[in-house]
Structure 1
Amino acid sequence: MQLCRFNHNRLGLIEGERVLDVSAALDVLPATRWLAPLGDPLLLNLDLIRAEVERLRTNAPSHPRAEVRLSSPLVRPSKIMAAPANYKLHVQLDAGQPGIDHGVHAKALEGVERPVDKYGLFLKATSSLAGESEGVQIVMPDRRTDHEIELAVVIGKTGRDITREEAMSHVAGYTIGLDMTVRGAEERSFRKSADSYTVLGPAFVTADEIVDPHALMMSLWVNGERRQHSSTGAMTVDIPDLIAFASRAYALHPGDVILTGTPEGVGPVLPGDLVRVACDGLGEMEFQVSSRHAA
């Protein structure tokens, strides 16, 4: 099932080139009260939502996919976690570039086989979430901002100290993620947490639709030029290990996102650029890059 958020918070079911409006399924959500449980409302109530969507889909109003405005399918994860330098070729080919390195990254990664084990995960602000329709707004026009396409893993149930063997049972599904990055020497969380610097979409795809999340091809184009193209099988630390690692420090909650790292080919974007991304089984989307100050 591919669930999306469109046209001012409508709930949609993507089927091919159509979006079915199943917003009535949101009626099953419990009323929000003070001290609401941590997590994204969609994922906290996913079983109820899915059952209601199935009931509604036959008679649901239908819209052409090209005519709707998609936002991030997730609205309130308790946290966004991200794996640094999790593709070997990205480290070998990209990390040492002068525009990326700033005298910090290449030296820190030299001889490190599994950067996650040494440097851990970093957090991105949940306020950085955006979708296709919002696009990316450059916040530091005097600095280089890069695209980084990633497979985003969405947690489906609460857990702490999760074992590798149990890890995949905590996955609710997947989406395409963009970890937009201002280059510089500051902490990653600062340079990657600006508003609109975590683009998710086009939909949240439930785990049952993805046979092997480590065998997906993902690609990114800027103005029609393909820059990134790799299999998720090339990641250094796989999804079960990332979940186990993260849950040693944090309790994971429904809707939490783990960005699994980016492959080689990262590069800068500028206001006016058109970015298109695609991933097997997860669909594709495109968004504009603009300047926050111009907007």
Structure 2
Amino acid sequence: MHLATLTHQGQPRLVGRAAPEAPWRLASPDSSLADVVGRGGGVPPMVDGVASEGPLLAPYRPATLHGVGLNYHDTVKEMGWEPPAEPYLFPKLSSSVIGTGEAVVFDPELTQRVDWETELAVIIGTEARRVREQDALDHVFGYSVANDISARDLQARDGQWLRGKGLDTFCPFGPVVVTADEIPDPHRLGIRTWVNGEKVQDGTTADMVFRIPELIAYLTRYFTLRPGDVVLTGTPAGCGDFRKPPRALRPGDVLESEVEGIGRLVNPVRAATSGSPAR
């Protein structure tokens, strides 16, 4: 099932469809994707007929997002580093989440090196603690697309990644959630990024250093993963800061982020202005 949140008659509504080409159908007004994922239960019936498609919103706002750095062999090679011995973890803040169509907004006085990182997002469906690798995928509700926008200058200045990864609007997420039964092997998906129509990333989840069961098992050695939590699984080669010459996002750019079989986020980029809202 493909699930999303869209605006219908001025209100956010949970919708679903059996295939990407099928029309959206509305769930009952008291259902939300956050509730569906958060309770770890089944998908509610889509009962209200065919929905006229309005703007898609972020599917829901995850409480916790776990980022994983340096998790693609081609990325590590591009950087001239060795693959990490263990997953490299960092937090991504809930306040950074935006949906497709919303702007990635940054203050040029704070950062000049804003970079893209399209990633497969893994959505946890049942509570997980000290999970074995062979059981890890049983805890996955589904998958989505995310872009781990990164302020490289803040990362370099801080020596840790909270500011560089956590700024408002720095996590486009969506546009849909695809339930796990629709993606039997999440390690065979293409990942692509475009900036102003130019393809800048073209990789595959087969290139992960640590596969999803390994990541879930590792994370749950230290933390409890709860329904609705998201694991961002890393990005393939092609980020702007590692190109020759380096390249950064600029106001006026259009960023597109795609994972095969799930969907594509489209986000304009703009500069923050005094007194303007973040989104």
TM more than 0.5: yes
Matches within 5 A, 1:205-220: 205-220=178-193
What amino acid does structure 1 have at the position aligned with 2:3? L
Match of 1:127? 95
Where does residue 201 of structure 1 map in the other structure? 174
1:253 is the counterpart of 2:256: no
Whole-angstrom distance in 2 between the partners of 1:229 and 1:132? 20
For 2:220 and 2:258, the matched residues in 1 are separated by 29
Residues 1:13 and 2:2 aligned together: no
1:156 aligned residue: 125
Q: 2:69 maps to what in 1? A: 84
What residue identity is the alignment partner of 2:24?
L
Percent identity of paired positions between Structure 1 and Structure 2 = 33
CA distance in structure 2 between the aligned counterparts of 1:258 and 1:80, rounded to whole angstroms: 6
Output the CA distance in 2 between the equivalents of 1:123 and 1:285.
Answer: 21
Contact 1:72 1:132 in 2 (8 A): yes
Structure 1 unaligned regions, length at least 5: 30-38, 97-109
1:140 is displaced (CA, Å) by 3.8
Contact (CA 8 Å) 2:173, 2:265: kept in 1 or not?
A: no
Note the 1:272-291 alignment, pairs <5 A: 272-291=252-271
CA contact (8 A) 1:40 1:78 kept: no
Cα deviation code 1:147-184 (max 9, x no counterpart): 10000000000011111111010111000110000012
Kindly indicate whether the alpha-carbon contact (under 8 Å) linking 1:12 and 1:22 is maintained by their aligned counterparts in 2: yes
Aligned: 1:52 with 2:38? no
Aligned-pair Cα RMSD in Å: 2.1
Question: Residue 60 of structure 1: SS of its match in structure 2?
Answer: strand
Q: Distance in 2 between matches of 1:17 and 1:80?
A: 30
The more displaced of 13-22 and 219-228 is 13-22
Distance 2:36 2:208 in 1: 28
Structure 1 runs (4+) greater than 6 angstroms displaced: none
Does the Cα contact within 8 Å between 1:86 and 1:260 map onto a contact in 2?
yes
Matches within 5 A, 1:14-163: 14=17, 15-17=19-21, 19-24=23-28, 26-27=29-30, 40-45=34-39, 47-48=41-42, 50-53=43-46, 56=47, 59-64=48-53, 68-75=54-61, 77-93=62-78, 95=79, 110-111=81-82, 113-114=83-84, 117=86, 120-141=88-109, 142-163=111-132
Conserved? CA contact 1:114–1:237, under 8 Å: no
- Using the alignment, how far apart are the partners of 2:125 and 2:234 within structure 1? 20
TM, length-normalised to structure 1: 0.81
Q: Which amino acid aligns with 2:102?
A: E
Deviations 1:94-115 (A, max 9, x none): x36xxxxxxxxxxxxx44x335
Q: Residue type matched to 1:290 in 2?
A: R
Unaligned residue ranges in structure 2 (runs of 5+) = 241-247
Q: Residue 266 of structure 1 corresponds to which residue in structure 2?
A: 239
Answer yes or no: is the 8 Å Cα contact 2:65–2:91 preserved in 1. yes
Give the Cα–Cα distance (whole angstroms) in 2 for the partners of residues 23 and 183 of structure 1.
Answer: 41
Q: In the aligned structure 1, how far is the partner of 2:2 from the partner of 2:76?
A: 33
- Greater helix fraction, Structure 1 or Structure 2: 1
State the AA in 2 paired with 1:5: T
- Aligned positions, number: 259
Q: Which residue of 1 aligns with 2:140?
A: 171
Counterpart check, 1:244 vs 2:212: no
AA at the equivalent of 1:6 = L
**How far apart are 1:41 and its partner, in Å?**
2.4
Deviation at 1:74, TM superposition (A): 2.2
